[in-house]
Amino acid sequence: MTTRAATSIVYPETDGMPLPDGEYQAPLYRRIVRDLEVHFSNVPGSRVNGDTFIYYVEGDPRRSVSPDCYVVFGLTEAALRSLSLEENNVYLLWEVGKPPDFILEIGSESTANADLVRKRELYAELGVGEYWRFDATGGEFYGEPLVGERLVNGEYSRIEMLRESDGRIWSHSEALKLDLWWADGELRFWDPVAGRWLLSQEEERDGRLVAETRAETAEVRAETAEVRAEEERTIRVAAESRLAELESELRRLRGE
pLDDT band at residue 3 under the 50/70/90 scheme: very low
Q: Please state the separation of Cα 68 from the chain's center in Å.
A: 14
pLDDT digits (tens, 9 = 90+) for 83-131: 876 656 899 999 999 999 999 999 999 999 999 999 999 999 999 999 9
Distance CA 88, CA 167 (A): 42
Report the 10 Å Cβ neighbour count for 74.
12
pLDDT band at residue 218 under the 50/70/90 scheme: low
Predicted TM-score (pTM) of the model is: 0.76
pLDDT band at residue 196 under the 50/70/90 scheme: very high
For the stretch 102-119, what's the b/e string if a residue is b when 16 or more beta carbons lie within 10 angstroms of its beta carbon? bbbbbbbeebbeebbeeb
pLDDT band at residue 29 under the 50/70/90 scheme: confident
* Mean pLDDT of all residues belonging to the chain: 85
Distance CA 75, CA 189 (A): 23
What sign does the dihedral 119-186-182-145 (CA atoms) show? negative
